[in-house]
Chains A and B, each alone.
Chain A
Amino acid sequence: MTDLPQVFWLLSIAAALLLITGFYCLIVTYNLVRALIALEILTKSVTLFIILAGYVTGRTGMAQALAITLIVIEVVVIAVAVGIVLCVYKNIKTIDGRSLRNIKG
Chain B
Amino acid sequence: MTINIILGVLLVLAAVWTVMTARVLRSVIGLAVTSVILTIIMFKLNSPLAAVFELSVCAGLISAIFISCISLTQRMTEEQAATRLKERFSMFWLLPVILVLAGVALYQLHLTPDLSLQQAAPTETDVRNILWNLRHLDILGQIIILIAGAFGVVALFKD
Q: Which residues of A contact B (CB under 8 A)?
A: 1, 3-14, 16-18, 20-22, 24-25, 28-29, 31, 33-34, 36-38, 40-41, 44, 47-48, 51-52, 54-69, 71-80, 82-87, 89, 93, 95
Contact = CB atoms under 8 A, between A and B. Distances in A.
B155 to A, nearest CB: 9
Contacts of B47: 51, 54-55, 60, 63-64, 67
A11 B135 CA distance: 27
Contacts, number: 235
A61 B120 contact: yes
Interface of B: 1, 4-5, 7-9, 11-12, 15-16, 18-19, 24, 27-28, 31, 34-35, 38, 41-42, 44-47, 49-50, 53-54, 57-58, 61-62, 65-66, 68-70, 72-74, 91-92, 94-95, 98-99, 102-103, 106-107, 110-113, 115, 117-120, 124-127, 129-131, 134-135, 138, 141-142, 145-146, 148-149, 152-153, 156-157
